[in-house]
Amino acid sequence: MTIGPRPLDGILVVDFTRVLAGPFCTALLADLGARVIKIERSGAGDPARGFGPFKDGRSLYFAFVNRGKESIALDLKKSDQDRALALRIAERADVLVENFRPGAMDRLGLGWEPLAARNPRLVYASASGFGHTGPWSRLPAYDTVIQAMSGIMSETGFPGGPPTRVGASIADLTTGVYAVAAITTALYAREHTGRGTRIDLAMLDAMVSYLEHGFMHVAAYGTPPGRIGNRHPSITPFDTFATADRDIVLCAGDERLFAKLCAALGRDDLPRDPRFAANAARTENEPALKQEIERALAAHGADHWLVRITEAGVPCAPINDVAQVAASPQVAARNMLVTAGGVAMPGNPLKLAGYADPTTRPEEPALDQHGAAVRAEFG
Active site residues: 232
- Say how many C-beta atoms besides its own lie within 10 A of residue 41's C-beta: 15
DSSP 3-state of 371: helix
Helix axes 21-31, 170-193, angle to 10 degrees: 50
CA distance 331 to 182: 27
| Helical ranges in the chain per DSSP H | 21-31, 60-64, 80-92, 104-107, 112-118, 143-150, 152-155, 170-193, 203-208, 212-221, 255-264, 279-284, 286-297, 302-311, 322-326, 329-333, 371-378
DSSP 3-state of 214: helix
Burial zone of 267 (CB within 10 Å; 0-12 exposed, 13-18 middle, 19+ buried): middle
User: Which distant-in-sequence residues (6+ apart) come within 8 Å of 234 by Cβ?
Assistant: 213, 216, 279, 283
Query: Which amino acid is it at 81?
Result: Q
CA distance 318 to 153: 25
User: Smallest Cα–Cα separation from 92: which of 374, 369, 376, 378?
Assistant: 378
Let me know: does 166 contact 147? Beta carbons within 8 Å: yes
| DSSP designation for 190 | H
Phi and psi at 240, nearest 5°, equal: -90, 145
